[in-house]
Chain A
Amino acid sequence: MAETRFIEPRTECGSCLASLDRMDWAASSTFGVGDWALGVRSSDIEIDHVLRKVLAAHVLDVDAPANFSALMADNRPRDFHFLYRASDALVRTRVAGRVVRTLIAHLSAFAIPSSSVIQLDAAAVVVEGRAIVGPASLRAELGSVETRLNRAGMAVVDAPTLHLDPDSSSVIVPEPALTFDADALAEYERAQPPGRGHDAVRPGRYPIAAWALVTGADLVGPVGRAQGVAAAAQQVVNADALGAQATLDAVARALQTVPISGLFWFDSGGLLSQLRDLASGA
């Protein structure tokens, strides 16, 4: 293995990260992925043990900055489990196993990427087997309205990057690129009390139902296809490996017939209703 590298947690919200830093953390572990050593701190011992067991092949005996934080429900006042990357909430759920699965998905993003796959930094919801894709900045907002999204038949994708298949105009929720102990994870999930939340969207191919951009209040609704392609192409993570022309061609092909729409909301109800409209093709 090459020299171990560390990443300092980066955030656009320093005060948010400081608030997390001030909390009591019961344990922390470091996991090696590719050349990276990534720190995960946990609010209770049990989840730290589970992570070390599930990701046993990746445990490193070095200290690393807290790149991820597993903040588990304590029943009062915290009902939900959270996983943060720096200060960004990656998942907010009552299903404890989702914290582990989401962590595995995000750690997988540090594995050496394949240049032949078009990787998107994107958030998505799946409704009736089809995906509504949006910018990664939507992820935290989707998490905060997830219960209502679930009631509307929409499930939030937890994976940090999606793969784009331009020929079938689909996104692919990738399988984890890490080896992990699936039996240990299943055992942990079975031992948890039944949660009221939804499970994560499973890896697989999902045709794109709509592509959403976050726009201004006066631009809500259908967006010109060129504008949509320009915005979506910026979400390709590995454009340097693919090349500018190949990236643009692929994104344009993928979005050839996909509805592209601008979203803007002042409150979560506004976001929810716009996503519902997209899901119903309105």
Chain B
Amino acid sequence: MSGDVRARSDGRADVRSEIAPDAIDGSFVPLARRGVGAVVVDGEIVLGLVADGTTYLQTAALNESASIVWQCFDGSGTIDEIAADIATVFGAEPASVQGDVVALARAVGGAGFLVGVNEPVIDIRDDIFAVEVGHPFPDFAAVDDQGVPFSHATLRGHTTLLVSWSATCEFCARIAADLDELAPVLADANIDIVRLVTGDTVDGFAGLGTPVAYLVDGHGRVAQPAALGAPAVVSLARRIASKSV
């Protein structure tokens, strides 16, 4: 529902009447925020808005269809009315068009481009701790450094040295050769080294930086204290390789 959206003098809606992007439906009246810039590039519109409290633009590139719809977001009609007009002009199925217009409004609204829509709140945890020994490593789905999807389920039945990795981390690059050297030794002991290039998005690694490593046993439980930082990761790998852990 659209609720009682009143634009303030700065073009932003009264916060008390803003709604979440997911709450946008056919009765919502879409209107671009003041300050939103738009440029047409090869028939597609690029939107830009200086994000609150920053010096940078947040942007969105709309495809050709979305670009046509965006030009109707002028505060003069509801989504249902816009969808009906578009369906008539293009001879398209009204319900399908309405769904597409709602989806676009939710997307651009959630990105901050529409009056009356809250941007999603980002969950920032105050305290982030490494997973303790004996605790299950949290469920995750990520990609390893070979581009292979790797999930919590893959850990079952194998002892794994799970390393949070980044292609742009100088410290990761410096220990890559050490880990490569140790990999065959660990493999002989049936221990895999897996470098998660998307590790920072995984609970258990998030907020700890890169590189970070856990030794996870075949039951998916953390077997050694987390190794934080390049020297600690190599040290843990060496200790495992020498079977001194």
Contact = CB atoms under 8 A, between A and B. Distances in A.
A50 interface: no
Contact of A15 (B37, B146, B173, B229): B229
A73 interface: no
Interface of A: 11-19, 82, 87-89, 92, 137-138, 140-141, 143-144, 217, 224-227, 229-231, 233-234, 236-241, 243-249, 252, 265-267
A237 B56 contact: yes
B37 A247 contact: yes
Contact of B37 (A13, A89, A237, A244): A244
Contact of A144 (B39, B41, B173): B173
Contacts of A226: 41-42, 44-46, 61-62
A17 B200 CA distance: 16
B56 A140 contact: no
Contacts of A236: 56-57
Contacts of A229: 39, 41, 46, 59, 61
Contact of A238 (B41, B47, B55): B55
Contacts of A225: 41-42, 44
Contacts of B41: 225-226, 229, 252
Interface in B1-56: 35-39, 41-42, 44-50, 54-56
B177 to A, nearest CB: 12
Interface of B: 35-39, 41-42, 44-50, 54-62, 145-147, 166-171, 173, 197, 200, 207-212, 228-232
Nearest to A218: B147
B37 A243 contact: yes
Given A226-B41, A234-B59, A13 B209 contact: yes
Top 4 A-B residue pairs of the complex, sorted by shortest distance between their CB atoms: A244-B37, A15-B229, A245-B37, A226-B44
A175 to B, nearest CB: 22
A272 B5 CA distance: 52
Contact of B46 (A89, A137, A252): A252
29 contacts: A12-B209, A15-B209, A15-B212, A15-B228, A17-B209, A18-B229, A19-B229, A19-B230, A87-B170, A92-B170, A140-B168, A140-B169, A217-B147, A224-B44, A226-B46, A226-B61, A226-B62, A227-B61, A230-B59, A233-B57, A233-B59, A234-B57, A237-B55, A240-B56, A244-B35, A244-B36, A244-B57, A248-B46, A249-B39
A243 B62 CA distance: 20
A13 B162 CA distance: 17
B211 A15 contact: yes
Contacts of B44: 224-226
A243 B208 CA distance: 36
A239 B50 contact: yes
Most buried by B among A11, A144, A244: A244
A268 to B, nearest CB: 8
Given A239-B56, A244-B49, A252 B170 contact: no
B115 to A, nearest CB: 15
A241 B55 CA distance: 8
B45 A13 contact: no
Contact of B48 (A87, A247, A265): A247
B213 to A, nearest CB: 10
Nearest to B170: A89
B59 A144 contact: no
Given A239-B56, A245-B37, A252-B46, A137 B168 contact: yes
